[in-house]
């Protein structure tokens, strides 16, 4: 994994800062740095296969989240966000009546349905913005010291967007339609919210209760936008 000398890393066990993840003793001898605070390896995951790290992240392990957020230079949150919104829009679009039986490319209904897709993408983006606004408001009020610079906001936003990766499962859940599709969609939502909670906890080192409250406020903002949209 990326390890530039001048960057500050974090111990994945206790979240204390560390200047390095490993030391190079030359002649091919590398030694993982031990954390001065908890006496455990600063980041054991630098030796792990990415698949193992992904499985640990899916199990919502705080250590895996810290590894990805603090000790790697993964920078795909923007693209992932767009892709997750596309997945959400596509899922909603497929659930519209008559979306799946459009065959004639000249059919004017096809263009109307395409417009529906863009409209649903816009709504999904607005709902995501409302959700994030709710989360940020609670955290800014409860922990103003943790969120006082642009980089703090950027890191939290990155953590939240990355932890939305579970939304990618929406596509297979809808395409392989069966009796339990609705249950699958609910479970995916629950998984994404749990991942979001863990991302907040790890980024700001806050309690489960506060991160739960932030998620709840985010959902309230999202629901408020939904009702405003449907009232019109």
The site for Zn ion (CB under 5 A) is made up of 11, 13-14, 16, 35, 37-38
C-beta closer to Zn ion: residue 39 or 232: 39
C-beta closer to Zn ion: residue 37 or 95: 37
CB of 49 to Zn ion, least distance (A): 23
Helix ranges (DSSP H) in 143-207: 150-162, 170-175, 181-204
C-beta closer to Zn ion: residue 14 or 206: 14
CB of 43 to Zn ion, least distance (A): 10
CB of 181 to Zn ion, least distance (A): 43
Helix ranges (DSSP H) in the chain: 50-58, 62-71, 77-94, 108-142, 150-162, 170-175, 181-204, 208-231
CB of 60 to Zn ion, least distance (A): 20
Name the nearest CA neighbour of 205 among 146, 164, 157, 142.
146
C-beta closer to Zn ion: residue 18 or 195: 18
CB of 35 to Zn ion, least distance (A): 3
C-beta closer to Zn ion: residue 15 or 181: 15
Q: Are 145 and 62 in contact (CB under 8 A)?
A: no
Q: Are 193 and 187 in contact (CB under 8 A)?
A: no
Taking the CA of residue 232 as centre, how many other CA atoms within 13 Å lie in the half-sphere pointing to its CB?
Answer: 5
- Which run of H or of E encompasses 24? strand 22-24
């Amino acid at each position: 994994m990326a390890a530039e000398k001048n960057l500050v890393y974090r111990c994945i066990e206790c979240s204390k800062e560390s200047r390095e993840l490993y030391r190079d003793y030359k002649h091919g001898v590398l030694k993982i740095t031990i954390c001065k605070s908890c006496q455990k390896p600063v980041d054991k995951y630098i030796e792990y296969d990415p698949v193992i790290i992904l499985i640990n992240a899916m199990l919502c392990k705080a250590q895996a989240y810290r590894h990805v957020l603090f000790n790697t230079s993964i920078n795909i949150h923007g693209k992932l966000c767009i892709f997750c919104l596309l997945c959400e829009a596509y899922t909603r679009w497929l659930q519209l009546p008559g979306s799946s039986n459009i065959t004639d490319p000249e059919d004017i209904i096809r263009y109307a349905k395409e417009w529906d897709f863009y409209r649903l993408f816009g709504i999904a983006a607005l709902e995501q913005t409302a959700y994030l606004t709710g989360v940020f408001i609670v955290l800014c009020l409860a922990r103003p010291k943790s969120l006082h610079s642009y980089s703090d906001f950027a890191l939290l936003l990155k953590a939240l967007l990355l932890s939305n990766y579970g939304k990618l499962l929406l596509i297979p859940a809808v395409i392989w339609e069966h009796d339990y599709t609705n249950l699958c969609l609910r479970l995916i939502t629950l998984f994404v919210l749990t991942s979001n909670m863990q991302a907040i906890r790890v980024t700001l080192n806050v309690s489960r209760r506060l991160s739960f409250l932030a998620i709840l406020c985010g959902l309230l903002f999202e629901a408020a936008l939904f009702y405003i949209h449907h009232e019109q």
